[in-house]
Structure formats: structure tokens, C-alpha cells
RNA sequence: GCCCGGAUGGCGAAAUGGUAGACGCGGGGGACUUAAAAUCCCCUUCCCGCAAGGGAGUGCCGGUUCGAGUCCGGCUCCGGGCACCA
């Protein structure tokens, strides 16, 4: 006890109890004053970049889910610091974009006024949570100094040929009045407002993320990420191995056309009895016969008018015959060419070879339009000409039939052999197709970084020169989007009229802003260099601090944010700006917090407001309780009733520390448990098994205070270090009480002695025929024979054993199993 | 339909193939107190039994093993991802 006047040694009396509010205020102020949490980024040794997904500062304030994630992140960061790393734990705000703007529109406050207010509120709440955040590197995506470089990133992609503009069918949300990326459409409705999405033809900016599909897929094998997240990305990228096959359209006089299809089943090509093009396919006009033109045109118009949801949900097969035929390169037969909306222009080549015998959709279509159905694959014991009542999609153990020289091959062999055979005449080539589409980044909205492009009548599309960045977002009074598909920025004439940077003639600015996901696709690069105004990221700092050591966030960003970040990082790598191509070495998705078994929502009225709990229980208790609810990666069930148990634990720790004696010796049995606890907590925290680490500390507490014993300082002090990542304020206060100098987080992690951690006497389970019949106390190094003798000396065990056991299984330190 | 997770006491949950239910909540009993709160101790999966002890038990059915919550095969239900993707 450093100061006996403030820490009396008697447990009862007027010992100052644990008062979290005072302790937390004191240490938060001291951390700020001493810059405890602002590491020297240039010189700090063993850098560890502990990143959490930055929040978007909603008007409702910090959500419990945010705090759950941040706390779990913070504990890992603090633990790494105790392990001797220089830990950088930054925070920022994802405050540009539709989510923020929609809320501003709803409450009728201009976003430029509302957002700073929300950020201020978030900052206050985050501060109270006791996070080890380096506030000197705080950023917001709305900062001029930030989005200048978001625009710079756009220009990098543009110069690299990875940003392009095209007129395309895009997802249009009639409520948000903007274009959405495919990733923002869920089941045909806008993920944000749940309004059914419409199809519109608009000029949009896209990023060629599809160019990176193979690498985005392949690298998934090398990064240390949650399996669920990698699976989600794998599904989203959606690689399909197959072949492109070319069918020659039967010459109708003056021209020849080739139709290239994509198929994953080239083994079934002998059963391709017709072709189908997407209604939007560019060849449709050219191949359609005059007598069919009217019908085909009508069908195409109907398809174009149809909204995306009904096209994707209405599975009834419709179509129109073009009148054209094409040659199946395998059979040499002429087969009809149809158009149908079940074939999608945006996947593969927008054309398919239909194999009704072995594809359910084709089968249905063939039935509707009375097209021939041929069996070319047969499972074991199935006749080669067995009739087909439905598509036979069986592949395992099936063989190819009615396919000329390929008859009898299994499906896999047939795929390669048939493609090789067709490749000989140039009719086929093996190819991998991806489900992933290019990333549409244009948004016809106000609250975002203007896309840095200028259109000049003489020079065409001109990128804004880097020296002119940022293209500042002007103040526009009325930011409401309208149905025109044109951004509110287009109403600000003085802003969008601009001289061409190349020829100086009258030109106009691009009035779309970029997608929020572009803001968040590179923020981790900005944090260490946030003070630099002349570069997006400092070369030396970036080399030292990136890639991110540990990234923690929600799995709702498994495909959107995480995929875009990887893409942008790869592009910057390829352009030589950075020397790594994966931004996050380790990623773990945290689970979700529910309340009393139910999802939290405003309508249910069961939303946990962090402020209230922190006031009542203290931030340390709240943090520890959140982590105690369940496995961090699985989430937990927040129940008000449970929090008292954690508070009781911290109260007991407080008393143990303030009452601890310095006289006499620590007890060996207690030290043994202590060292087991040090090992357990040290194992559990890095794997985010926080709940079991807390349980282990509680278990130790039960030993430490068993009966009414007064613990020794040597028994308590290391526990204060173990608990520090969870209850940082309390740990600092107690550490100081012990006479510790500086922050407990610079004191390191207690070492554990394996010899001491090992039990001297242990309990061996004794089974007879695998059934537990009793336990025996034995020394650690007991032999099998010794254990056997001890076991048979127990009447309750011996009564199950007549004569010598047939077999004895001895697992040292664990159990003895006698087989009789 | 395909691909990932998950299912364990009254509740939140623990368990490298080796004593199922650690830790915590709730509940019961006790100590201290005039009393209450706080604190400390004991009990708390279910069934039979005064007890010693015995039996059953980790969503369901089967298997591997001396031994299965854990591994394998086949299901059921719940959560999530993808889905007219050729």
C-alpha cells in the first residue's frame, strides 16, 4: 500500500469503496493529459495496428452494437500493448453518404449542420467507454482534408483505366432517388429503405472490380479471416469453371454471325437443342428474321419495361423465337435461336446453349415451347434412351451417352475432352466466369465527395488535375433528390460551370458524388498519416504500420466494405503506391448482441442505451459485462439481471487490492492458481475468448478470497494486470495504489511459471468400461501401475472389477479406464 | 435448391476424443446483524434413495472408439450467405 492513509488495511471500517465514476473521470483525464494512448508512430517499436470498423455517426448516438465491437477491439489492443507492442488504435466517422443524408432529410436539418453535431455526441460517448483511442488521429470522411484524397483515389483508378462511364441498366431506388450498387439491393428491395428497386438506363461511373475477381478470390486462401466472411466473399465473387462455346448462325444471305455462350456443362453439348439469348443481347436485331421481327420486338420491349424484382422472382418461362438457327458444333445440326428473359445479359456472355435434358430451366422452357429434349447423361443403371420426365441433373457416377465418340466417359472427363476437341476447330475454350459485377460508384445525391471529372465539348471527359483537389462540395440549400436521376448539385450553376482544365473553354463538372463505400475503402490507409495534407498517406508510416494487424467489425460488411477495401488496396499496390495487396492481415467478425433473447429495435422498445448503464454501473463493469455475455465472435444476450455479477467481481477485486497485506508470505496454493490464471487469460484473450478469460479471473478471485482471508499483494497485483484490458480505469487506479509508476499498460504482462502452474496432486477419473466409477487423488508423476493399485483400493471402484482387467487405458493426469 | 454456422440445466454459457454443466444470473439454506442491505459459506441437470450409492442425460436415428457434446453417415429445427448465375 503506497499510502496507508487512503488505503486502510481493515476490510470493513471506512475503507473508500469502489466508486467507478470518480475513478473513470480521473483516468480519462490523465490519459488525455499524458497522451497515454497516442503512440509515437514514427519511432514506436513493434507496431501493432488495431483497427475497428468506424461508425457512421447517427443522430441516435452510439449503439450498443458499436460499443460491443469497440470494446472487444479495445481489449485486444490493450492486451497487445501489455505484450510490449506499440499499439495504434484510431477512430473516425463514416459520415458522408446516403445513410447520413437520409436522416438529415427526415429531420429537416442540413447535413452539414447535423453531422458535426452527431460526431460531437459520438466523441463524448466514445470517450466515456474508456477506449485506448488515439484521438490525435481522428478523422471524418466528410473532412475536406479526407475527401480530397478520396477523389485522388478515384483519379488513380481513372488513370489506370479502371474507372469508366457507361450507360447501363442500373438499380434505381425510387424512394432514395438514387442508383444503388448490386450489393445494396437485397431480394429486389433497397437495403436501406426496403422500397422495391426499379430498373433504369443511366450513365454511370463504374470501377472494374471484375478485373480483380481472380485475385480477390485467390488471396482469400492466404489471409487470416473468419471462415464465415471468406465464404461470403467467395459466394459473392461466384467463380464458375466452364467453357465458352461458339455457335455459327446459319447464313441468311449477306452476313454471318457467331453466338458465343458460356456453359459449365460442356459435357452436355450433344444435348443442346436450341440457343437462348438475353432479350438485351446486341445480336438480337441482326439475326432476327423479318417475319419474326414484330414478335421479338414486342417481347424485348416488355422485358425492358419489366422491373428487376418481377423479372427475378417470376420464374414462368417466356420467350420468343428469332427465326434464326445456328449450328451445334458438336452435332453439326441446325438448332433454333430464341430470346428469353431467364437469360441475363449481365452474366456470362448473355447467351446460353439450352440442354433441356439436364437443366431444370431449359427443361421447363422446352416443355412450354415444344422443343426437343435429348438425354446425353445417364446415371448408373439408367438406359441411354430412358425418357426424361424432368431434367436429370445427376452428375455423381453418371456417364455421357448419345454423344458420339465420348459415350461412356464420366462427366468430369467428358468436360475436358469435349472442350479440347471443340477447341481444335476454335469453337470452344475453357474459361472461368464470375458472378461479381463492376462496382457502380455514381450516386445522384448531394452528401458525398463530388466525382472529380469535368466534361468539355472539345476535350471530352477530363479528369480534374490533382493540384485542383479537392473538388469541394458546395453548400446547396435544398439537398432533396428528385426523380430526374440528376444530382442536386446540378442545381448549383456557379459550381458546375467551370473552365476546362485542358483548353480553358466552357465546361461543366460531373454532378454525381461517389458511393459511401469508396470513402470507407481506404480510411485505414489514412489514419497513421491523418496529419499530412500533402499526401494521402506517408510512405514511411505506411510501410511501418500497414497492413492492419487486427481488424474487427461486423459481418454485415462481409462483402461490401471488405471486398471494396481489398480491391482498392490491390489497385494502389499495382500502381506502386503501397507494397502490400491485402489490407487486413487478420479479420474477425464479432457477433450480435440481443436483448433478453430478442433482437433489439426501437419498435420493440428494448434498445439498450449505453449511457444509462455506464452511469449506473461504471464503464469498466459495462465493458466487462458485455464481454462476459458469450463468445465475442458469436455475440450474446444482454440481460440486466446479469450485470451485478460482474460488478461484484470488480468490487471484490477493489477490496482485495486495497486490503492486501504486505507482511508475511503469499500462499503457494493461491500462487499456483494465479499462475494457471495468467496462462489461461494469456491464451484466451488473443483468440477473443473473452468470456472464458473473465470466468478464469473470477475463479481465481474465489480462491483469492476463499473464506475471509486477506490476500497478499503478490497474489493480487498480477490480477490487476490481467484485468486491465477489460477494466482499464480500475486497473490503473489499483496499480497506482500499489505504488506503480506510470500507466499499468506500460508495465507489461505478468509472466507465469509453468512449474508453479502445474498441480502437485491431481484428481484422476477412474472408469470401468468407459463409465465413471470414482475419482482418486494421485501425485502428478504416478505410474499406470500405481494408479491402478490406488483405483482398486477404492471399494466403490473395486466392486465393478472382478479379477484382472482385460485392458487398462491410462491417460496421465486425466483418467484411468479399466476394461473388464 | 446450394454453401456456411448453431442446437448443452430455470437462464447466459464452459468443456485439446478423456470426470458434461467451469464462470455468472436466478433459486434454496446458513453465518454475521436488533433488523435489513452489503459481505461470507454451502446446495442447486433430471429420476430413485435418509444416506452410501445407482440410473438417465448435450435436437433425432445409426456408426467408429476402451471412451463421443466433440469424429463419421443420415435427418429435424433455428440463424446467416447465395440464388432463373447457365
Task: Report pLDDT for A699.
Answer: 93
Task: Tell me the torsion sign for CA atoms A121, A124, A125, A126.
Answer: positive
Task: Report pLDDT for A183.
Answer: 61
Residues 6+ away with beta carbon under 8 Å from A664 = A712
Q: Kindly report, residue by residue over A453-468, the tens digit of the pLDDT.
A: 999 999 999 999 999 9
C-alpha distances in Å from residue A555, one per residue of A144, A227, A551, A566, A581: 30, 11, 12, 15, 22
Task: Report pLDDT for A669.
Answer: 87
pLDDT at residue A89 greater than cutoff 50: yes
How confident is the model over A504-510, as a mean pLDDT?
Answer: 93
Q: Kindly report, residue by residue over A715-756, the tens digit of the pLDDT.
A: 999 999 999 999 999 999 999 999 988 899 999 999 988 888
How confident is the model over A680-705, as a mean pLDDT?
Answer: 94
Backbone angles phi, psi at A698, to 5 degrees: -65, -40
pLDDT at residue A13 greater than cutoff 50: no
Q: For strand B, is any atom closer than 7 Å to the CB of A200?
A: no
Distance in angstroms, CA of A807 to C1' of B66?
A: 8
Nucleotide with C1' nearest the A652 CA = B39
Task: Report pLDDT for A63.
Answer: 86
Distance in angstroms, CA of A420 to C1' of B65?
A: 49
Q: For strand B, is any atom closer than 7 Å to the CB of A138?
A: no
Query: What is the rounded (10 degree) CA torsion for A539, A541, A543, A548?
Result: -130
pLDDT at residue A635 greater than cutoff 70: yes
Nucleotide with C1' nearest the A689 CA = B14
Residue pair A435/A236 in contact (Cβ under 8 Å)? The answer is yes
Distance in angstroms, CA of A796 to C1' of B52?
A: 10
pLDDT at residue A58 greater than cutoff 90: no
Q: For strand B, is any atom closer than 7 Å to the CB of A208?
A: no
* Distance, CA of A276 to CA of A366 (rounded, Å): 11
* Distance, CA of A695 to CA of A109 (rounded, Å): 47
Task: Report pLDDT for A309.
Answer: 63
Nucleotide with C1' nearest the A559 CA = B81
Location of C-alpha cell 499483494: A713
Residue pair A275/A326 in contact (Cβ under 8 Å)? The answer is yes
Q: Kindly report, residue by residue over A650-688, the tens digit of the pLDDT.
A: 999 999 999 888 888 888 889 999 999 999 999 999 999
Residue pair A225/A587 in contact (Cβ under 8 Å)? The answer is yes
* Distance, CA of A200 to CA of A485 (rounded, Å): 9
* Distance, CA of A634 to CA of A643 (rounded, Å): 19
pLDDT at residue A806 greater than cutoff 90: no
Q: DSSP string covering A567-633, please?
A: HHHHHHHHTTS-S-S-SBSEEEEE-EEEETTB---TTTT----HHHHHHHH-HHHHHHHHHHSS-TT
Q: For strand B, is any atom closer than 7 Å to the CB of A144?
A: no
Share of chain A above pLDDT 70, in %: 95
Q: In the 8-state DSSP scheme, what is residue A91?
A: -
Residue pair A518/A150 in contact (Cβ under 8 Å)? The answer is yes
Q: Kindly report, residue by residue over A181-225, the tens digit of the pLDDT.
A: 666 676 667 766 777 777 777 888 999 999 999 999 999 888 898
For the record, the C-alpha cell of A431 comes out as: 474459361
Nucleotide with C1' nearest the A185 CA = B82
Backbone angles phi, psi at A244, to 5 degrees: -95, 130
Question: Among chain A residues 429 through 488, which have CB within 7 angstroms of nucleic chain B?
Answer: 433, 435
Letter string b/e over residues A746-762, b meaning 16 or more CB atoms within 10 A of that residue's CB: ebebbebeeeebeeeeb
Q: For strand B, is any atom closer than 7 Å to the CB of A598?
A: no
Residue pair A270/A245 in contact (Cβ under 8 Å)? The answer is no
Q: For strand B, is any atom closer than 7 Å to the CB of A368?
A: no
Distance in angstroms, CA of A776 to C1' of B21?
A: 21
Task: Report pLDDT for A235.
Answer: 87
Nucleotide with C1' nearest the A351 CA = B86
Question: Among chain A residues 253 through 272, which have CB within 7 angstroms of nucleic chain B?
Answer: 262-265
Q: For strand B, is any atom closer than 7 Å to the CB of A702?
A: yes
Task: Report pLDDT for A11.
Answer: 36
pLDDT at residue A129 greater than cutoff 50: yes
Distance in angstroms, CA of A33 to C1' of B43?
A: 51
* Distance, CA of A514 to CA of A443 (rounded, Å): 6
Task: Report pLDDT for A1.
Answer: 30
SS (H, E, C) A238-304: CEEEEEEEEEEECCCCCCCCEEEEEECCHHHHHHCCEEEECCCCCCHHHHCCHHHHHHHHHHHHHHH
Q: Kindly report, residue by residue over A329-353, the tens digit of the pLDDT.
A: 999 999 999 999 999 888 999 999 9
pLDDT at residue A131 greater than cutoff 60: yes
Task: Report pLDDT for A189.
Answer: 72
- Nucleotides of strand B under 7 angstroms from a protein beta carbon: 3-5, 11-16, 18-20, 22-26, 38-41, 52-55, 66-68, 80-86
Task: Report pLDDT for A7.
Answer: 30
Task: Report pLDDT for A145.
Answer: 95
Task: Report pLDDT for A313.
Answer: 67
Q: Kindly report, residue by residue over A354-387, the tens digit of the pLDDT.
A: 999 999 899 999 999 999 999 999 887 788 888 8
Q: Kindly report, residue by residue over A263-319, the tens digit of the pLDDT.
A: 999 999 999 999 999 998 999 998 999 999 999 999 998 887 776 666 666 778 899
Least confident of A36-45, A451-460, A786-795: A786-795
pLDDT at residue A12 greater than cutoff 50: no
Task: Report pLDDT for A181.
Answer: 66
- Residue with smallest Cα–C1' gap to B53: A796
More confident residue, A598 or A494: A494
Question: Among chain A residues 619 through 648, which have CB within 7 angstroms of nucleic chain B?
Answer: 628-631, 634, 636-637, 639, 641-642, 644-646, 648
Average pLDDT, chain A: 89
How confident is the model over A134-147, as a mean pLDDT?
Answer: 95
Distance in angstroms, CA of A136 to C1' of B23?
A: 39
How confident is the model over A42-58, as a mean pLDDT?
Answer: 94
Least confident of A143-157, A513-527, A583-597, A612-626: A583-597
Share of chain A above pLDDT 90, in %: 61
Task: Report pLDDT for A367.
Answer: 92
For the record, the C-alpha cell of A644 comes out as: 451485478
Amino acid at each position: 500500500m503506497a499510502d496507508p492513509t487512503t488505503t486502510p488495511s481493515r476490510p470493513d471500517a471506512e475503507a473508500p469503496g469502489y466508486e467507478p465514476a470518480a475513478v473513470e473521470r480521473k483516468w480519462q483525464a490523465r490519459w488525455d493529459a499524458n497522451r497515454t494512448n497516442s503512440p509515437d508512430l514514427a519511432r514506436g517499436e513493434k507496431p501493432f495496428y488495431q483497427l475497428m470498423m468506424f461508425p457512421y455517426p447517427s443522430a441516435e448516438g452510439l449503439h450498443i452494437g458499436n460499443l460491443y465491437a469497440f470494446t472487444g477491439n479495445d481489449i485486444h489492443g490493450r492486451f497487445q500493448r501489455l505484450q510490449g507492442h506499440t499499439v495504434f488504435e484510431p477512430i473516425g466517422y463514416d459520415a458522408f453518404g446516403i445513410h447520413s443524408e437520409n436522416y438529415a432529410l427526415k429531420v429537416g436539418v442540413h447535413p452539414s449542420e447535423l453531422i458535426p453535431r452527431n460526431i460531437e455526441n459520438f466523441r463524448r460517448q466514445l470517450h466515456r467507454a474508456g477506449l485506448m483511442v488515439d484521438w490525435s488521429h481522428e478523422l471524418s470522411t466528410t473532412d475536406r482534408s479526407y475527401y480530397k484524397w478520396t477523389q485522388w483515389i478515384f483519379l488513380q483508378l481513372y488513370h489506370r483505366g479502371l474507372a469508366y462511364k457507361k450507360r447501363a441498366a442500373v438499380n434505381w431506388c425510387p424512394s432514395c432517388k438514387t442508383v444503388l450498387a448490386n450489393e445494396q439491393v437485397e431480394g429486389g428491395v433497397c437495403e436501406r429503405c426496403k422500397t422495391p428497386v426499379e430498373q433504369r438506363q443511366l450513365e454511370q461511373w463504374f470501377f472494374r472490380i471484375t478485373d480483380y475477381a481472380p485475385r480477390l478470390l485467390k488471396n482469400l486462401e492466404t489471409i487470416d479471416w473468419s471462415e464465415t466472411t471468406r465464404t461470403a466473399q467467395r459466394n459473392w465473387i461466384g467463380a464458375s469453371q466452364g467453357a465458352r462455346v461458339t455457335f455459327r448462325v446459319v447464313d441468311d444471305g449477306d452476313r454471318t454471325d457467331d453466338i458465343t455462350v458460356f456453359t459449365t456443362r460442356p459435357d452436355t453439348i450433344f444435348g443442346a437443342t436450341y440457343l437462348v439469348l438475353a432479350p438485351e443481347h446486341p445480336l438480337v436485331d441482326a439475326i432476327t428474321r423479318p417475319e419474326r421481327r414484330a414478335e421479338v420486338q414486342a417481347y424485348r420491349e416488355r422485358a425492358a419495361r419489366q422491373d428487376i424484382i418481377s423479372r427475378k422472382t417470376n420464374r414462368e418461362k417466356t420467350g420468343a423465337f428469332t427465326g434464326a438457327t445456328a449450328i451445334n458444333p458438336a452435332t453439326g445440326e441446325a438448332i433454333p435461336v430464341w430470346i428469353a428473359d431467364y437469360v441475363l445479359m449481365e452474366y456470362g456472355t448473355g447467351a446460353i446453349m439450352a440442354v433441356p435434358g439436364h437443366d431444370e430451366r431449359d427443361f421447363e422452357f422446352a416443355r412450354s415451347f415444344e422443343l426437343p429434349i435429348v438425354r446425353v447423361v445417364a446415371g448408373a443403371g439408367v438406359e441411354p434412351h430412358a425418357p426424361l420426365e424432368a431434367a436429370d441433373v445427376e452428375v455423381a457416377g453418371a456417364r455421357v451417352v448419345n454423344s458420339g465418340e465420348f459415350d461412356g466417359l464420366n462427366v468430369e472427363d467428358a468436360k475436358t475432352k469435349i472442350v479440347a476437341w471443340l477447341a481444335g476447330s476454335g469453337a470452344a475454350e475453357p474459361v472461368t466466369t464470375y458472378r461479381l459485377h463492376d462496382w457502380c460508384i455514381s450516386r445522384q445525391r448531394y452528401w458525398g465527395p463530388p466525382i472529380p471529372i469535368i466534361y468539355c465539348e472539345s476535350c471530352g471527359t477530363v479528369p480534374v488535375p490533382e493540384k485542383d483537389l479537392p473538388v469541394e462540395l458546395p453548400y446547396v440549400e435544398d439537398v432533396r433528390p428528385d426523380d430526374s436521376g440528376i444530382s442536386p448539385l446540378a442545381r448549383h450553376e456557379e459550381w458546375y460551370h467551370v473552365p476546362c482544365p485542358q483548353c480553358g473553354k466552357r465546361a461543366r463538372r460531373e454532378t454525381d458524388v461517389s458511393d459511401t463505400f469508396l470513402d470507407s475503402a481506404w480510411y485505414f490507409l489514412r489514419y497513421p498519416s491523418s496529419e499530412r495534407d500533402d499526401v494521402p498517406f506517408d510512405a514511411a508510416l505506411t510501410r511501418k504500420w500497414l497492413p492492419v494487424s487486427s481488424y474487427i467489425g461486423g459481418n454485415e460488411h462481409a462483402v461490401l466494405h471488405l471486398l471494396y477495401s481489398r480491391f482498392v488496396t490491390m489497385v494502389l499496390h499495382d500502381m506502386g503506391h503501397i507494397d502490400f495487396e491485402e489490407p487486413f492481415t487478420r479479420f474477425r467478425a464479432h457477433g450480435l448482441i440481443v436483448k433478453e433473447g430478442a433482437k433489439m429495435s426501437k419498435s420493440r422498445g428494448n434498445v439498450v442505451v449505453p449511457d444509462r448503464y455506464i452511469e449506473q454501473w461504471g464503464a469498466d463493469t459495462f465493458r466487462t459485462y458485455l464481454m462476459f455475455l458469450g463468445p465475442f465472435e458469436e455475440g450474446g444476450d444482454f440481460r440486466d439481471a446479469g450485470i451485478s455479477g460482474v460488478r461484484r467481481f470488480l468490487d471484490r477485486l477493489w477490496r482485495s487490492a486495497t486490503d492486501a497485506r504486505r507482511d508475511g508470505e503469499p500462499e503457494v496454493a493461491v500462487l499456483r492458481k494465479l499462475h494457471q490464471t495468467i496462462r489461461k487469460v494469456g491464451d484466451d484473450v488473443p483468440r477473443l475468448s473473452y468470456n472464458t478469460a473473465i470466468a478464469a479471473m473470477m475463479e481465481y478471485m474465489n480462491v483469492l478470497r476463499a473464506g475471509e482471508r486477506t490476500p497478499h499483494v503478490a497474489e493480487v497485483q498480477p490480477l490487476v494486470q490481467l484485468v486491465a484490458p477489460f477494466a482499464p480505469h480500475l486497473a490503473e487506479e489499483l496499480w497506482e495504489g500499489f505504488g506503480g509508476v506510470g500507466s499499468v499498460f506500460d508495465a507489461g504482462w505478468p509472466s507465469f511459471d509453468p512449474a508453479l502452474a502445474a498441480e502437485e496432486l491431481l484428481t484422476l477419473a477412474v472408469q470401468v468400461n468407459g463409465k465413471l466409477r470414482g475419482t482418486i487423488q494421485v501425485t502428478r508423476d504416478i505410474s499406470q501401475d500405481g494408479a491402478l493399485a490406488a483405483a482398486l483400493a477404492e471399494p466403490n471402484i473395486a466392486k465393478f472389477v472382478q479379477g484382472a482387467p482385460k485392458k487398462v487405458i491410462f491417460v496421465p493426469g486425466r483418467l484411468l479406464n479399466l476394461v473388464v
